[in-house]
C-alpha cells in the first residue's frame, strides 16, 4: 500500500480481512475456490458478477457459514470460531429487502442497536445520530413501508453502523438506486471510511463505481481471485502525456512522429492525443512543435490509469 | 419501543462547531461528526432477554399502534371478569368450593385463550420471516436458536400471564370468602403449574403454525382453525368411542386436544376434578399416554419450529 494514501486506520494495524485457501462448496457447486487474499483497513471494494461468491464470502466472514476448507480472519478474529465476537464489532448491510414496513426507521434502528448489545439509552441516542448521518431526518418517524428505495437503503446502512462497528460489510448497497441515489450512497460510503474511521468492505458488480471510493479493489470471478490491488497503485501515473492543441492536431502529430516520438491518436480526429513519455525531451518537442506551427497548447497532462482499463487488459 | 426520546442530547465535551460533512443547512441539530461509542456492550444473554421482553410487550400491543392493543386486552378482560363474578357469587351465596376449579378454568375458557395465542404467535414470528428481517438479527451477536428461544419464551410468558392472572383473581375471591386457605393454595398452585404446561404447548403449536404461514392474517386463521378442528375431532372421536362402549379409547382421544390433554394431566398428576368425568384418565396406562403425548407434541412442534428456522435463517 502506498503510504501517501490517506487511510484511516481505526484500531490496530495489519490487514482487516485475511483469507487463506478459503473454499466453500454447496454440494457440487463451488462458491469459493481456494481464495487467498488480504484486504487492508480503509475502504475495500469487492467486485464480481452475480454469483461470483461475494455474498458467500461475507457470510463466512460473519461467522454464519462454515467454510469447506481454509481459513478466514476478520479484524484478527477467526471466522470459524469467533462468530459472536466478530458480530459484535462488525456491521452488515444485506443485499436483500430486510425492513419491516410497519415500524419507523427510528424504532427499528433503536431495536437493532439493542440487539447488538447496546443499553437502551445509548441505543436511542446512537440510532438518532446514525440516522442523521445517513441522511434521514424527519421521515425517520414514519413507517418504513412508505419509504423510497434510496431511503430504505439508508435505513439498512444505519442499522449496520448504529453499534459503532470497526468494520462494515456492505452487500451491493447501490443496488436498485437511480444514478443520483447511487452517487449519494457512494459518497456516504466514502465518508464512512474517511470521516467515521470505520473500515468498509463493499461489494458491487460494477468496478467503475467502486474505483471512485475504494482504496483497494479485490476482483473475484466464479469464486476465484482475479486480482487484488491498491487503487492508488493501479491508477498511478502512466507513462504517457495527454496533449490537447487548439488546431492542426494532425500536423503536430506528424512533426512529433518525425522526431521519433510514439504518438497515439484517437480515431475521431479530435485535437487531443497521447504521447509516449520516453524521456523529458518529448515534452520540449511537444512545446516546440506547437510553437513552430503556431497552434495553442490547451493542456499537457500526465495520464492516470483507470482500473477498468487495467482489468480490460488483464482479460485480454 | 414506544418511549422514545428522539432528541438525543448533544454529547458533553464535543465541540459544537465542528461541521464535518454534508448535512443540509437549517437542521436544528449541529453536525458534530460521527461519534464513536465506547460504552458497555452486553452479551448474548442480555440480548436474548431484551428480545424476549420485547416480544412480551409486543404481544400485548405495548409500543405498537393503539389498534394492536384492542384484541389482547379485550381477551385479557374476558378472561379476568368471570373469576371476579365467580368470586362475588361465592362471597354472596357462600359455599365450600368455588363453582369452577383452577384447572377447569383453563378448559372452560379455551376459546379466548386460543384467540389470544392465534393473535400473538403470528406477531412474534411472521413479520420477521415475511420481510426477511432475520439477517439483521443473525448478523448480530446471537445465534439462530437464541432468536427462536427469545420469541418462544416471550410468547410462553405472555400466555402464562393471561392464564395466571384470572386464576390468581379466583384465589383472592376464594380467600375473601374465607374458604379453606390450604386447599385453595394447593389448587391455585396446581392451576399455575398446568397453566405453564398449557402455555408451553400452545406457544409451540402457535409459533410452528405461524412460522409456516408468513402472512399474519393467514397465521391467525390457521392457528384458530387447527385448534378448533383438533378439538372437534377429539370430541367426535371420544363420543363415537363412548357410544361403542370403548371407554378406554374415549379417554385417550382427549389427548388430541391440547386443553383436554392438560385437563387429563391435571386429573392424573394432581388429582384435580376433571371437566368431563367420563373422559378422564383413570389408570396408570392412560396417564402415561397423556404424559407421553404431551412430551411428544411439545418436542414435535418445537422441532418443527427450529427446522423452519434452520432454512429461513440463511441470509
Q: B38 is written with which cell numbers?
A: 465506547
Residue among B8, B40, B315 whose CB faces A119 most closely:
B40
- Is residue B24 situated within a structural domain? no
Inspect the interface and report whether the beta carbons of A163 and B138 lie closer than 8 Å: no
Q: Is the pLDDT of residue A5 over 60?
A: no
Q: Is the pLDDT of residue A234 over 90?
A: no
Q: Give the β-pairing of A77-78 and A69-74.
A: antiparallel
B24: chain A residues, CB-CB within 8 Å:
137
Looking at residue B1, its pLDDT comes to: 41
Mean pLDDT of all residues in B69-87: 91
Inter-helix orientation angle B181-212/B284-312, to 10°: 40
Inspect the interface and report whether the beta carbons of A87 and B41 lie closer than 8 Å: no
What percentage of chain B has pLDDT greater than the value 70? Answer: 89
- Is residue B223 situated within a structural domain? yes
B20: chain A residues, CB-CB within 8 Å:
195
Whole-angstrom distance, CA of residue B181 vs CA of residue A236: 89
Mean pLDDT of all residues in B46-55: 96
- Is residue B19 situated within a structural domain? no
B314 — pLDDT class (breaks 50, 70, 90): low
- Range with the poorest average pLDDT among A271-280, B79-88, B182-191: A271-280
Q: Is the pLDDT of residue B4 over 60?
A: no
What is the secondary structure of A257-299 as a DSSP string? HHTT--EE--TT--SEEEEE-SSTHHHHHHHHHHHHHT--EEE
Mean pLDDT of all residues in A80-103: 94
Inspect the interface and report whether the beta carbons of B23 and A132 lie closer than 8 Å: yes
Looking at residue B30, its pLDDT comes to: 54
Q: Is the pLDDT of residue B3 over 50?
A: no
Residue among B6, B34, B63 whose CB faces A141 most closely:
B6
Q: Is the pLDDT of residue B95 over 90?
A: no
Mean pLDDT of all residues in A138-159: 95
pLDDT in tens, B123-136: 999 989 999 999 99
What percentage of chain A has pLDDT greater than the value 70? Answer: 90
Looking at residue B231, its pLDDT comes to: 94
ipTM > 0.85?
A: no
C-alpha closest to that of A130 among B56, B36, B54, B157: B36
Q: Is the pLDDT of residue B311 over 50?
A: yes
Quote the Cα angle for A78-A81-A87, to 5°.
Answer: 75
Reported for B295-299, long-range contacts at CB under 8 A and 24+ positions apart, including other chains, are B297/B201, B297/B204, B297/B205, B297/B258, B297/B261, B298/B200, B298/B201, B298/B204
Looking at residue A295, its pLDDT comes to: 87
pLDDT in tens, A53-69: 999 999 999 999 999 99
pLDDT in tens, A249-264: 888 888 888 888 888 8
Q: Is the pLDDT of residue B286 over 70?
A: yes
A101: chain B residues, CB-CB within 8 Å:
131
Inspect the interface and report whether the beta carbons of A96 and B127 lie closer than 8 Å: no
**CA-nearest residue of chain B to A62?**
B139
For residues B270 and B28, the model is more confident at: B270
Whole-angstrom distance, CA of residue A219 vs CA of residue B154: 45
- Is residue B77 situated within a structural domain? yes
A188 CB-near residues (< 8 Å, 6+ apart) = A134, A135, A154, A157
- Chain A, window 87-106: residues with a beta carbon less than 8 angstroms from a chain B beta carbon: 87-88, 90-92, 94, 96-103, 106
Q: Is the pLDDT of residue A303 over 80?
A: no
Residue among A88, A137, A195 whose CB faces B41 most closely:
A88
B22 — pLDDT class (breaks 50, 70, 90): very low
Inspect the interface and report whether the beta carbons of B137 and A115 lie closer than 8 Å: yes
- Is residue B16 situated within a structural domain? no
Mean pLDDT of all residues in B169-192: 91
For residues A61 and A279, the model is more confident at: A61
Inspect the interface and report whether the beta carbons of A119 and B29 lie closer than 8 Å: no
Looking at residue A247, its pLDDT comes to: 82
Residue among A100, A116, A128 whose CB faces B141 most closely:
A116
Task: Provide the number of structural domains found in chain B.
Answer: 1
Would you call A169 helix, strand, or coil by DSSP?
strand
- Contact by Cβ (8 Å): B258, B230: yes
Q: Is the pLDDT of residue B8 over 50?
A: no
B23 — pLDDT class (breaks 50, 70, 90): very low
Residue among A62, A119, A133 whose CB faces B139 most closely:
A62
Using the Cβ of A212 and the Cβ atoms of chain B, whether some distance falls under 8 Å is answered with: no
HSE-up (13 A, CA, CB side) for residue A40: 20
Residue among A85, A116, A164 whose CB faces B140 most closely:
A116
Mean pLDDT of all residues in B287-311: 94
Mean pLDDT of all residues in A137-150: 94
β-pair partners for B299: none
Inspect the interface and report whether the beta carbons of B34 and A98 lie closer than 8 Å: no
Using the Cβ of A26 and the Cβ atoms of chain B, whether some distance falls under 8 Å is answered with: no
- Is residue B22 situated within a structural domain? no
pLDDT in tens, B193-206: 999 999 999 999 99
B299 — pLDDT class (breaks 50, 70, 90): very high
Mean pLDDT of all residues in B127-146: 93
Looking at residue B61, its pLDDT comes to: 92
- Is residue B18 situated within a structural domain? no
User: Average model confidence (pLDDT) for chain B?
Assistant: 87
Nearest-CA distance from A142 to chain B in Å? 12
Q: Is the pLDDT of residue B260 over 60?
A: yes
- Is residue B1 situated within a structural domain? no
Inspect the interface and report whether the beta carbons of A112 and B136 lie closer than 8 Å: yes
Inspect the interface and report whether the beta carbons of A94 and B137 lie closer than 8 Å: no
Give me the domain span that covers residue B151.
44-314
Using the Cβ of A309 and the Cβ atoms of chain B, whether some distance falls under 8 Å is answered with: no
Amino acid at each position: 500500500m502506498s503510504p501517501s494514501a490517506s487511510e484511516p486506520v481505526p484500531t490496530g494495524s495489519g490487514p482487516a480481512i485475511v483469507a487463506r485457501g478459503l473454499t466453500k462448496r454447496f454440494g457440487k457447486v463451488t462458491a469459493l475456490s481456494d481464495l487467498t487474499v488480504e484486504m487492508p483497513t480503509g475502504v475495500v471494494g469487492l467486485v464480481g458478477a452475480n454469483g461470483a461468491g461475494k455474498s458467500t464470502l461475507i457470510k463466512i466472514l460473519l461467522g454464519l457459514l462454515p467454510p469447506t476448507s481454509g481459513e478466514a480472519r476478520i479484524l484478527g478474529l477467526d471466522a470459524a470460531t469467533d462468530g459472536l465476537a466478530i458480530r459484535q464489532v462488525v456491521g452488515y448491510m444485506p443485499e436483500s429487502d430486510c425492513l419491516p414496513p410497519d415500524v419507523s426507521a427510528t424504532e427499528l434502528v433503536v431495536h437493532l442497536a439493542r440487539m447488538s448489545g447496546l443499553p437502551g439509552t445509548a441505543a436511542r441516542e446512537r440510532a438518532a445520530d446514525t440516522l442523521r448521518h445517513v441522511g434521514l431526518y424527519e421521515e425517520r418517524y414514519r413507517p418504513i413501508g412508505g419509504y423510497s428505495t434510496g431511503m430504505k437503503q439508508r435505513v439498512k446502512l444505519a442499522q449496520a453502523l448504529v453499534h459503532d462497528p470497526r468494520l462494515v460489510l456492505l452487500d451491493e448497497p447501490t443496488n436498485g438506486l437511480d444514478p443520483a441515489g447511487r452517487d449519494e450512497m457512494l459518497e456516504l460510503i466514502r465518508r464512512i471510511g474517511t470521516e467515521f474511521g470505520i473500515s468498509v468492505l463493499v461489494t458491487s458488480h460494477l468496478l467503475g463505481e467502486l474505483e471512485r471510493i475504494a482504496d483497494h479493489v479485490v476482483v473475484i470471478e466464479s469464486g476465484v481471485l482475479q486480482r487484488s490491488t491498491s487503487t492508488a497503485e493501479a491508477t498511478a501515473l502512466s507513462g504517457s502525456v495527454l496533449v490537447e492543441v487548439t488546431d492542426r492536431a494532425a500536423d503536430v502529430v506528424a512533426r512529433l512522429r518525425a522526431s521519433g516520438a510514439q504518438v497515439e491518436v484517437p480515431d475521431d480526429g479530435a485535437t487531443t492525443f497521447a504521447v509516449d513519455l520516453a524521456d523529458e525531451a518529448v515534452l520540449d518537442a511537444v512545446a516546440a512543435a506547437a510553437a513552430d506551427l503556431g497552434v495553442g497548447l490547451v493542456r499537457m497532462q500526465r495520464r492516470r490509469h483507470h482500473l477498468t482499463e487495467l482489468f480490460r487488459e488483464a482479460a485480454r | 419501543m414506544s418511549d422514545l426520546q428522539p432528541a438525543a442530547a448533544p454529547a458533553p465535551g464535543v465541540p459544537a462547531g465542528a461541521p464535518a460533512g454534508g448535512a443540509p443547512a437549517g437542521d436544528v441539530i449541529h453536525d458534530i461528526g460521527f461519534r464513536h461509542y465506547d460504552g458497555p456492550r452486553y452479551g448474548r444473554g442480555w440480548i436474548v432477554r431484551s428480545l424476549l421482553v420485547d416480544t412480551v410487550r409486543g404481544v400485548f400491543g405495548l409500543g405498537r399502534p393503539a389498534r394492536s392493543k384492542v384484541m389482547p386486552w379485550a381477551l385479557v378482560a374476558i378472561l379476568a371478569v368471570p373469576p371476579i363474578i365467580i368470586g362475588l357469587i361465592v362471597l354472596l351465596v357462600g359455599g365450600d368450593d368455588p363453582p369452577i376449579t383452577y384447572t377447569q378454568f383453563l378448559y372452560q375458557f379455551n376459546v379466548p385463550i386460543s384467540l389470544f395465542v392465534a393473535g400473538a404467535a403470528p406477531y412474534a414470528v411472521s413479520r420477521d420471516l415475511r420481510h426477511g428481517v432475520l439477517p439483521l438479527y443473525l448478523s448480530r451477536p446471537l445465534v439462530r436458536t437464541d432468536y427462536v428461544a427469545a420469541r418462544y419464551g416471550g410468547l410462553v410468558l405472555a400466555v402464562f400471564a393471561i392464564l395466571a392472572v384470572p386464576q390468581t383473581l379466583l384465589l383472592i375471591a376464594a380467600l375473601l370468602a374465607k374458604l379453606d386457605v390450604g386447599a385453595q393454595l394447593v389448587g391455585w398452585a396446581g392451576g399455575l403449574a398446568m397453566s405453564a404446561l398449557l402455555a408451553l404447548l400452545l406457544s409451540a403449536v402457535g409459533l410452528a403454525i405461524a412460522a409456516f404461514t408468513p402472512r399474519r392474517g393467514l397465521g391467525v386463521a390457521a392457528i384458530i382453525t387447527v385448534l378448533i378442528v383438533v378439538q372437534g375431532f377429539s370430541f367426535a372421536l371420544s363420543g363415537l368411542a363412548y357410544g361403542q362402549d370403548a371407554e378406554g379409547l374415549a379417554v385417550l382421544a382427549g389427548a388430541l386436544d391440547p386443553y383436554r390433554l392438560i385437563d387429563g394431566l391435571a386429573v392424573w398428576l394432581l388429582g384435580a376434578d376433571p371437566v368431563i368425568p367420563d373422559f378422564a384418565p383413570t389408570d396408570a396406562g392412560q396417564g402415561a399416554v397423556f404424559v407421553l403425548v404431551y412430551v411428544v407434541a411439545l418436542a414435535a412442534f418445537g422441532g418443527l419450529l427450529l427446522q423452519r428456522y434452520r432454512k429461513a435463517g440463511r441470509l
